[in-house]
Amino acid sequence: MPTLLITGANRGVGYQLASYYAAEGWSIIATCRNPDEASELTSLGGDVEVLALDVNSTDSVLALKAQLGDRPIDRLLNNAGVYGPRTGFGETDYDTWLEVFNTNAIGPMRMIETFADNVVASDMKQIFNISSVMSSMYATVVGSGVIYRSSKAALNMVCRGSAAALGEKGVTVVNFHPGWVQTDMGGPQATLTPEESRDLLVNTFANISSSNNGLLYAPDGVPIPW
C-alpha cells in the first residue's frame, strides 16, 4: 500500500486525512510537534507511526530524515500551518510575520527539499501542500490578513518552483485550499466541518495527475487563479 508522510497530523483536517488513509490501509507517517500530547492520533488503528517534527526547525526536519532514511514516500502532504495575528492594515506585527512565513512557506520547502528523493523513489510521486484561497491575489479584495495571505502566496511559489524542479523526475506538486473549516484556525462559524473538508479533498486528491502539476485547487477540484 502507499505511504503518506503528513505534517500537522494531530488535529483538524490533518488528523482527518491521516485517519482516513490509515483506514484505507495506507502506511501513515503522522508527524506533529508533541506526539506525547496527541492521544487521539497515537490511538489510531492501522499502520501508523507518530513521529515528532517541528517544520520550523531544519534540525528537526533532518532528524526525521535520518529516522526514515531512503524509505519511499508516495505522498508528502504539507498540512502544518498557522494563521498568526488577526490584524488589519496599520496593525502589522512584523516579528510574528516572520514566524508565520517560517511555518507556512519555509517549512514546506524544508520538507520538499529534504524528502524529494524519497518521493521520487515511490510509485505515486506526489507532493501536496495545504494553501488557501486567501493566497490568491486575484481573489483578495480586503486589507486584512496580509500576514497569513502573503505566507500562503509564498507557498504557492514554493509549489510552482518545486513543480518545475521535480516535474522532470515524474513528481506532481499541487496546492489545495481546504475550504473554510471549523478548526481552531477557521473558527466555529466556518462553513465546513473537518470531516466535510476531508471528504472533498480525498475525492480531489484521487483525480490529480501530472497535468495538474504546479496549480492551486479548491477542495472540490475547481482551479483557483493566482
State the DSSP string of 40-72. HHHT--SSEEEEE--TT-HHHHHHHHHHHTT--
**pLDDT value of position 190:** 80
**pLDDT per residue over 83-137, tens digit each?**
999 988 999 999 999 999 999 999 999 999 999 999 999 999 999 999 999 999 9
> Cα–Cα distance between 77 and 204 in angstroms, integer?
14
**pLDDT value of position 53:** 98
The arithmetic mean of pLDDT across residues 190-195, rounded, is 91
**pLDDT value of position 185:** 83
Q: Is the pLDDT of residue 189 over 90?
A: no
Dig out the grid coordinates for 36 from the structure: 506525547
> Which residues are 72's β-sheet partners?
none
**pLDDT value of position 203:** 98
- Taking the model in full, what pTM does it have? 0.96
Catalytic residues: 148, 152
In the chain the beta strands, taken as DSSP E runs, fall at 3-6, 27-32, 48-52, 75-78, 126-130, 172-176, 216-217
**pLDDT per residue over 36-87, tens digit each?**
999 999 999 999 999 999 999 999 999 999 999 999 999 999 999 999 999 8
Query: Which of the four pLDDT bands, split at 50, 70 and 90, describes residue 187?
Result: confident
Number of C-alpha atoms within 13 angstroms, CB side, residue 37? 6
